[in-house]
């Protein structure tokens, strides 16, 4: 199953396994509506977690290819200014350059226009819930199928 990376307008990013982009949007709705956000398929993904003495998992590191893909897709402005050394060794100028780049990154991505749900009922649901059109259409479609299944079929005359 493919892995998709979503770049949120506030600068955050999320990775999700999904059958396709539409399925990724539906799954990402657990975080927020990702419609119109940049989404890319990742062919390589590696992440390492650390188990703390308190029994919590913390992010230890990303694989090299994964980290490169994240910086290129999600943070190209920031990628050009982050110094190689650890933050505690940055100069005041480097800190300010990073701070400005973070502000640019947070303002850089704006969701694109997206298609509305297929039905008037779907559009009403979307307005009320703020869910992605793909999820709303799926809900309306499943509801319609359920209603049709419950309908009694006319008997054939003898």
Structure tokens at 23: 């399925």
Instruction: Specify the range with the lowest mean pLDDT, choosing from 25-39, 82-96, 143-157.
Output: 143-157
- Residue 104 pLDDT exceeds 80: yes
Residue 35: alpha-carbon gap to chain centroid:
9
> For 56, which DSSP code?
-
The pLDDT score that the predictor gives to residue 134 is: 79
Confidence bin at 144 (pLDDT 50/70/90): low
Please count the other Cβ atoms lying within 10 Å of the Cβ belonging to residue 99.
11
Residue with the larger pLDDT of the pair 119 and 106: 106
Instruction: State the SS3 of 72-97.
Output: HHHCHHHHCCCCCCCHHHCCHHHHHH
pTM: 0.73
Confidence bin at 131 (pLDDT 50/70/90): confident
Tell me the pLDDT tens digit for each residue of 3-51: 999 999 999 999 999 999 999 999 999 999 999 999 999 999 999 999 9
Output the CA angle 65-68-71, nearest 5 degrees: 150
Instruction: Specify the range with the lowest mean pLDDT, choosing from 66-80, 116-130, 138-152.
Output: 138-152
Instruction: Give the whole-angstrom CA distance, residue 71 versus residue 73.
Output: 6
The pLDDT score that the predictor gives to residue 46 is: 96
Task: Please report how the helices 133-150 and 120-129 are oriented relative to each other, as an axis angle in degrees rounded to 10.
Answer: 130
The pLDDT score that the predictor gives to residue 38 is: 95
Tell me the pLDDT tens digit for each residue of 45-86: 999 999 999 999 999 999 999 999 999 999 999 999 999 899
Instruction: Give the whole-angstrom CA distance, residue 121 versus residue 125.
Output: 6
Instruction: Give the whole-angstrom CA distance, residue 23 versus residue 86.
Output: 38
The pLDDT score that the predictor gives to residue 55 is: 97
> For 117, which DSSP code?
P
């Amino acid at each position: 199953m493919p892995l998709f990376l979503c770049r949120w307008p506030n600068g955050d990013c999320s990775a999700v396994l999904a059958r396709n982009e539409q399925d990724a949007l539906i799954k990402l709705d657990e975080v927020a509506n990702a419609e119109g956000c940049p989404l890319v398929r990742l062919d390589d993904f590696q992440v390492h977690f650390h188990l703390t003495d308190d029994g919590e998992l913390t992010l230890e590191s990303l694989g090299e290819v994964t980290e490169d893909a994240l910086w290129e897709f999600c943070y190209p402005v920031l990628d050009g200014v982050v110094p190689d050394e650890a933050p505690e060794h940055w100069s005041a100028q480097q800190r300010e350059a990073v701070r400005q780049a973070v502000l640019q990154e947070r303002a850089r991505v704006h969701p694109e226009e997206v298609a509305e749900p297929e039905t008037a009922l779907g559009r009403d649901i979307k307005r009320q819930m703020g869910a992605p059109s793909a999820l709303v259409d799926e809900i309306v479609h499943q509801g319609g199928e359920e209603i049709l299944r419950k309908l009694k079929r006319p008997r054939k005359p003898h």
